[in-house]
């Protein structure tokens, strides 16, 4: 303990209980910056786990720390709460934690200091964090709530395919690197859930100067979030089990010898439905079936109106290509990978009344299909994937 003669500057002011107005940084005082940073950690926990942090010896240490931090934030003066409320998407500041095992007042000084992540034991009202204050504030302002994904059926098959690729070794899960980009069609594992990036908005600069954008992220538990690219990167990097799924390896489309399912000379065809169903009519110009046959396409489609595969309606041939020595199964795998985000999600009853979900119909413009076929023939197609938000093919990041 310092005596009065040893006190200098701020120490003396603190001893006299004189408050010094702190300089503003980017519109906030340093103390306000620290409050926002501490609250953003609690918001991130709620976003990731679906519930606010709770007390209890059986809880993870970080959850217990955040629970104490939230209790302390709720006790802040009204001016501080007014600063934090616009960021409080989950009403954490106004909803009490019913599971609190003990009051904060009963914590030891060491536990309280750890919970508040303080550097100075003499200032129990200060919340600090090791990361950039500016970056923390930016993240806090854009924390996105997860909500039910109303059209999750559109993405269910993508998750199933990704899981199958992992099981078959066509994909692998690699530790997320901090500087790795995030793009449409990417899969990640975060907090034990698979995450699919369905859309990437317009790019802008984050406070640290790096690129940022609003994402549409779909989670394997049937929820979605419009979080920031920067926020997802940080969450993946901080999660010890955060993983990026590599792009699937499909193997060669063409080979020197035929295998089961391969055809010496195949016709790849594109069909357009002539169905009078209003849902089909509305998307007729961009809805196409892509398939491969070793025989005549005309023979293949002669009874289309009786086959649920063809949406129980006549079809017209839009385009065809002749390819030699093509691996039938690999071709279908490749098409389904490239156009996964554009696959039609529709159940059609077959002639026995059994619901069938046709897999070869895609909502994709014909010019894009033409480009896909060109790249199949020059064998560059494995470098691309269809970006439904941009309406065209996107080159995969070679670095990934």
**pLDDT tens digits, 275-301:** 998 888 999 889 999 988 878 889 889
Q: 76: closest CA among 64, 63, 66, 85?
A: 85
- Region of poorest pLDDT, from 17-31, 164-178, 256-270: 17-31
Q: Which tokens is 83 given?
A: 């600063």
More confident residue, 19 or 385: 385
Q: Give the alpha-carbon dihedral of 277, 319, 258, 260, to 10 degrees.
A: 10
Q: What is the pLDDT of residues 250-273, one digit of tens each?
A: 444 544 444 555 555 678 899 999
Please check the confidence at residue 400 and state whether its pLDDT lies above 80: no
Q: Cα–Cα distances in Å, from 367 out to 307, 371, 372? A: 27, 6, 9
More confident residue, 287 or 64: 287
Measured distance CA(317)–CA(153) in Å, rounded: 29
CB-based contact 90:73 (threshold 8 Å):
no
Which segments of the chain are extended strands (E)? 147-148, 173-175, 187-190, 193-200, 204-205, 211-212, 215-219, 223-225, 243-245, 263-273, 287-293, 315-326, 348-349, 355-356, 361-363, 384-387, 392-395
Question: What pLDDT was estimated at residue 27?
Answer: 60
Measured distance CA(64)–CA(43) in Å, rounded: 14
Question: What pLDDT was estimated at residue 13?
Answer: 43
Q: Over range 165-175, report the average pLDDT.
A: 74
Residues 6+ apart with CB under 8 A from 383: 375, 395, 396, 398
| Pairing between β-strand 187-190 and β-strand 243-245 as defined by DSSP bridges | antiparallel
Q: 266: closest CA among 277, 253, 251?
A: 253
- Region of poorest pLDDT, from 10-24, 121-135, 282-296: 121-135
More confident residue, 342 or 123: 342
The winner for highest mean pLDDT among 14-23, 168-177, 365-374 is 365-374
Please check the confidence at residue 244 and state whether its pLDDT lies above 80: yes
Question: What pLDDT was estimated at residue 352?
Answer: 66
Q: Which tokens is 106 given?
A: 């009963």
Q: How confident is the model at residue 248 (pLDDT cuts 50, 70, 90)?
A: low
Measured distance CA(189)–CA(51) in Å, rounded: 19
Question: What pLDDT was estimated at residue 82?
Answer: 87
Q: How confident is the model at residue 196 (pLDDT cuts 50, 70, 90)?
A: very high
Question: What pLDDT was estimated at residue 129?
Answer: 40
Grouping H, G, I as helix, E, B as strand and the rest as coil, residue 267 is strand
- Region of poorest pLDDT, from 191-195, 200-204, 223-227: 200-204
């Amino acid at each position: 303990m310092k005596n009065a003669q040893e006190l200098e500057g701020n120490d003396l002011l603190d001893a006299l209980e004189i408050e010094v107005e702190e300089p503003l940084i980017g519109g906030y005082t340093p103390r306000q910056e620290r409050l926002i940073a501490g609250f953003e950690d609690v918001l991130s926990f709620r976003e990731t786990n679906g519930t606010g942090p709770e007390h209890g010896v059986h809880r993870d240490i970080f959850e217990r720390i955040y629970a104490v931090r939230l209790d302390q934030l709720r006790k802040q003066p009204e001016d501080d709460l007014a600063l934090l409320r616009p960021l409080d998407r989950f009403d954490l500041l106004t909803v009490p934690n019913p599971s609190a095992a003990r009051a904060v007042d009963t914590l030891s000084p060491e536990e309280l200091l750890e919970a508040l992540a303080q550097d100075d034991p003499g200032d129990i009202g200060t919340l600090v964090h090791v990361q950039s204050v500016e970056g923390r504030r930016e993240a806090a302002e854009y924390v996105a709530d997860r909500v039910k994904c109303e059209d999750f059926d559109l993405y269910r098959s993508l998750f199933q395919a990704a899981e199958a690729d992992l099981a078959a070794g066509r994909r692998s899960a690699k530790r997320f690197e901090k500087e790795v980009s995030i793009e449409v069609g990417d899969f990640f594992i975060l907090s034990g859930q698979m995450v699919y990036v369905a859309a990437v908005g317009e790019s802008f600069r984050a406070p640290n100067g790096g690129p940022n954008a609003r994402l549409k992220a779909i989670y394997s538990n049937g929820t979605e979030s419009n979080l920031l690219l920067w926020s997802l990167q940080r969450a993946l990097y901080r999660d010890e089990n955060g993983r990026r799924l590599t792009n699937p390896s499909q193997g060669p489309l063409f080979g020197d010898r035929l295998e089961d399912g391969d055809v010496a000379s195949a016709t790849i065809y594109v069909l357009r439905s002539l169905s009078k169903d209003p849902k089909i009519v509305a998307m007729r110009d961009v809805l196409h079936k892509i398939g491969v046959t070793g025989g005549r396409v005309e023979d293949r489609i002669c009874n289309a109106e009786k086959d649920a595969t063809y949406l129980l309606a006549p079809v017209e041939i839009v385009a065809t290509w002749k390819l030699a020595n093509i691996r039938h199964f690999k071709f279908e795998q490749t098409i389904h990978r490239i156009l996964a985000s554009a696959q039609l999600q529709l159940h059609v009853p077959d002639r026995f009344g059994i619901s069938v979900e046709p897999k070869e119909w895609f909502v994709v413009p014909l010019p894009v299909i033409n480009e896909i076929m060109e790249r199949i023939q020059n064998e560059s197609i494995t470098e691309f994937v269809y970006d439904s938000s941009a309406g065209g093919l996107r080159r995969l990041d070679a670095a990934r």
